[in-house]
Structure 1
Amino acid sequence: MQTADDTPEGRRGHAAGAITIRRGDLDAAARQQQLPPGTADALWRFLADRAGSTPVGAPEDARFTFTHTLYYLGGLLAIGAATLFMTQGFERLGPAALLAIAVVYAALCVWAARALQARALEVPAGILATLAVCLVPLATWALQQLLGLWPEGGTERYAAYHTRIDWRWLTLELVTLVAAALALWALRTPFLTMPVAFTLWYLGMDLARLVVARDTPGAWEFYRDFSMFFGLLMVLLAFWIDQRSRSRDPRAPGSRRDYAFWLYLLGMLSFWGALSARQTDSELAKAAYAALNLGFVVLGAVLQRRVFTVCGAFGVAGYLGYLSARVFEDSLLFPVALTAIGLAVIVAGLWWQRHEQAVQAALWRRLPPALRGWLPPP
């Protein structure tokens, strides 16, 4: 018998008389009174010991339950209050007061996160630790304002940090990345990669503004291409992290936790969005774009990351719509062609939902053995 945590890899399957059991399966069995009350935790620990992957403190599974919905809802409201919804009225307290509030608030969050982690409540601990990291740019901005180190020009409002591209935010972003790295080292909760991914996304845009001013000829094209390559670097970083966390090497086993999700999501959206924004009159380039998006669909199946599949499907559908507009231009058949493409995409989605695991297994079997070590098994 094999055990697996509640991750994308923890799917139920049958092979050579073995099954894969998730922690959620034991909880479901307990709720249905298939297990004696209070035995799910003990049985999970026993199975984890047999599999050689004893959980430290039996951390709480990252399941999508109503309790976890409340966790994330409350956490996102608190994070939004400290970031997106920071008002100018709050800034009138002055930099010294803002610095004190941010430091005290973050310290309380860190203390609460450590206490919750000690009680194996990993999800709320990760959310509070993330809130502490999200307060770091506010504290850094207030400190720079207090010491007179804020560069001249640009906005004087911290609320613009999340809405305005400006190279002056670079210090805030670098300090936030350092704080997030320390938090990850201390707590090892996957949700902490969310501020890392968003900060890297901001960093890419602000670095482009540092290199080329907004009023420079060709600035928009440079920003677009810079965003595309920076997004690609984020995707490669996510792949490296994903490979390490999924490693089955007994000498260096992975944590089996999904630290790469947010990096994959924002990196791919940045890369694909910038790539799709490129305008060209070359039919060969448009066909290459469609072929690349088709490759994203396959790559999503191999990596078991749906963000690649979704972006690729939109790219292919967009190219098919372009072809329909060219072929049926000024024709009564144009709406019919678009409807047919939409229905074809829906049918493809239904087929994919039914055969996703079989396709992943078939692709896995056809990969060279040396490459399988870098990719997640189906």
Structure 2
Amino acid sequence: MGDDEFFSVTSGDVDEALSRGLLVPERRDELEAFLRARSKEREATSGSTFSVLAYYLGTLVVLAALSWFVADAWESMGGWGLASVAAVYGGLFVLAGRRFYGREETRVLGGLLFSLALCLTPLFAYGVQKATGLWTGTPPGEYDSFLHWVRSGWCVMELSTIAVALAVIRGVRFSFLAAPLSLALWYLTMDLSSLLKRDHRMTSLLFGLALMALAFLWDLRRKREDPEYGFWLHLVGAVAFWGGLSLLDGRTELRRFLYGSINLGLIALSAALDRSIYLILGGLGFFGYLGHLAWSVFEDVLYFPLVLVLFGLAVMACGLWYHRRRKALSLWIEGHLPPFLLRLREVRGDSAWK
């Protein structure tokens, strides 16, 4: 039976177990009350899954409309027009967020509404800067380039987003708020590298390492009732580190070998911390390294495709072996990990979306 397999138990089943001597008669009513309570919890959880997915899908649609797909028609409104639109929408999201966040059953919806208001901060700052002409460095161009290009003119937008995010997090304990905060920090370091004439690839790599370290520190200090900010810190930190690493100059085979080895290290880190983001990125990077070997180094070697086939089958066999022995392996890993890594595994919760 799987760890999370669902099955129903009725009052008749409890009475049957009691008649067979499997239960202590004095604890019969207590057991039935416990089972009823757990059944209600499962129903509430299963029923809320669709709602949470709908909340996040709606949030992405709104973000796309108000942040990512701001086109020429919006630019024609002028700077103050853009700032006014951002302020009105942001204010409405805050008012709605305060209404829903205070209720336990709609807390996720309220938190996402606050997040939407936060994500409008760069648009508001952009509008003010466009109207006043006050830019850091050269004017960066239209707003729809904000997520695409590293430019020094975006810095004020990112600084304002960070400031607003820190203010919101003080009053709203919602894990997703760490996502726009982390992204704003990442973009700020990249755009500062442009302002200071530094290599943005190395800047991204170093920032990713720093954010991953911050995520580890948060995990070590986090209590069970705290929001799961670590999920988003690990996500953005890992992407920033891996993205910078993948864009670095790899013209020598030694550098490419180191790249593949670091990606294998990310896969091992995923197993130690039980964080799938490191497995995904490490797998992509290592697969890219194998592709380089196949298409460049061993392009004319007849047996190399066979070696890759055998390697792939071996990986699949390892996956099957792990699936069958995952409990024993998990216990073995936990028995050999240092205390701080055990702590990092223990605090990883399922509240990343709440």
Q: TM tier, shorter chain?
A: 0.7 to 0.9
Distance change (3 Å), C-alpha of 1:358 and 1:209? farther
- Output the TM-score relative to the length of structure 2: 0.77
Task: Please tell me whether residue 104 in structure 1 is matched to residue 104 in structure 2.
Answer: no
Tell me if structure 2 keeps the 8 A contact 1:243–1:374: yes
Task: Please tell me whether residue 268 in structure 1 is matched to residue 238 in structure 2.
Answer: yes
Distance in 2 separating the partners of 1:115 and 1:41: 29
- State the partner residue of 2:57: 73
Q: How many residues align?
A: 322
Larger Rg: 2
- State the partner residue of 1:296: 266
Structure 1 range deviating more: 157-166 or 313-322: 313-322
Q: Tell me the alpha carbon deviations over residues 35-92 of structure 1, each in whole angstroms, 9 at most, x when there is no partner.
A: 89xx759986xxxxxxxxxxxxxxx969882222221111110011111011121222
Superposed displacement of residue 174, structure 1: 0.9
- State the partner residue of 2:140: 155
- State the partner residue of 1:180: 165
- Counterpart amino acid of 2:195? L
Q: Tell me the alpha carbon deviations over residues 283-318 of structure 1, each in whole angstroms, 9 at most, x when there is no partner.
A: 555444444333322211221101112223334444
Tell me if structure 2 keeps the 8 A contact 1:324–1:337: no
Distance in 1 separating the partners of 2:272 and 2:47: 24
Distance change (3 Å), C-alpha of 1:199 and 1:67? same
Task: Please tell me whether residue 347 in structure 1 is matched to residue 317 in structure 2.
Answer: yes
Q: Which has the higher contact order (CA 8 A, sep 6+)?
A: 2
Structure 1 range deviating more: 341-350 or 254-263: 341-350
Distance in 2 separating the partners of 1:256 and 1:362: 28
Q: Tell me the alpha carbon deviations over residues 200-237 of structure 1, each in whole angstroms, 9 at most, x when there is no partner.
A: 2222321221121xxxxxx7xx2222211111111111
Task: Please tell me whether residue 238 in structure 1 is matched to residue 215 in structure 2.
Answer: yes
Q: Tell me the alpha carbon deviations over residues 113-150 of structure 1, each in whole angstroms, 9 at most, x when there is no partner.
A: 11111121122112111110011111111122333423
Any gaps of 5 or more consecutive residues in structure 2? 15-31, 349-354
The match for 2:275 among 301, 305, 308 is: 305
Distance change (3 Å), C-alpha of 1:374 and 1:69? closer
Distance change (3 Å), C-alpha of 1:339 and 1:129? same
Any gaps of 5 or more consecutive residues in structure 1? 1-11, 14-21, 45-59, 213-218, 246-252
Q: Tell me the alpha carbon deviations over residues 163-188 of structure 1, each in whole angstroms, 9 at most, x when there is no partner.
A: 22111111110110111112222111
- Output the TM-score relative to the length of structure 1: 0.73
Q: Name the one with the larger helix percent.
A: 2
Distance in 2 separating the partners of 1:165 and 1:149: 18
SS, match of residue 113 in structure 1: helix
Distance change (3 Å), C-alpha of 1:259 and 1:332? same
Task: Please tell me whether residue 336 in structure 1 is matched to residue 320 in structure 2.
Answer: no
Percent same amino acid at aligned positions? 34
- Counterpart amino acid of 1:340? L
Tell me if structure 2 keeps the 8 A contact 1:324–1:334: yes
Task: Please tell me whether residue 165 in structure 1 is matched to residue 150 in structure 2.
Answer: yes
- State the partner residue of 2:110: 125
SS, match of residue 331 in structure 1: coil
Tell me if structure 2 keeps the 8 A contact 1:320–1:341: no
Superposed displacement of residue 369, structure 1: 3.9
**RMSD over aligned Cα atoms:** 3.5
Q: Tell me the alpha carbon deviations over residues 347-370 of structure 1, each in whole angstroms, 9 at most, x when there is no partner.
A: 344444444454333222112346
Distance in 2 separating the partners of 1:298 and 1:96: 50
Tell me if structure 1 keeps the 8 A contact 2:215–2:233: yes
Superposed displacement of residue 325, structure 1: 6.1
Q: Tell me the alpha carbon deviations over residues 8-44 of structure 1, each in whole angstroms, 9 at most, x when there is no partner.
A: xxxx97xxxxxxxx9x989x989xxx989xx759986
Distance in 1 separating the partners of 2:141 and 2:255: 43
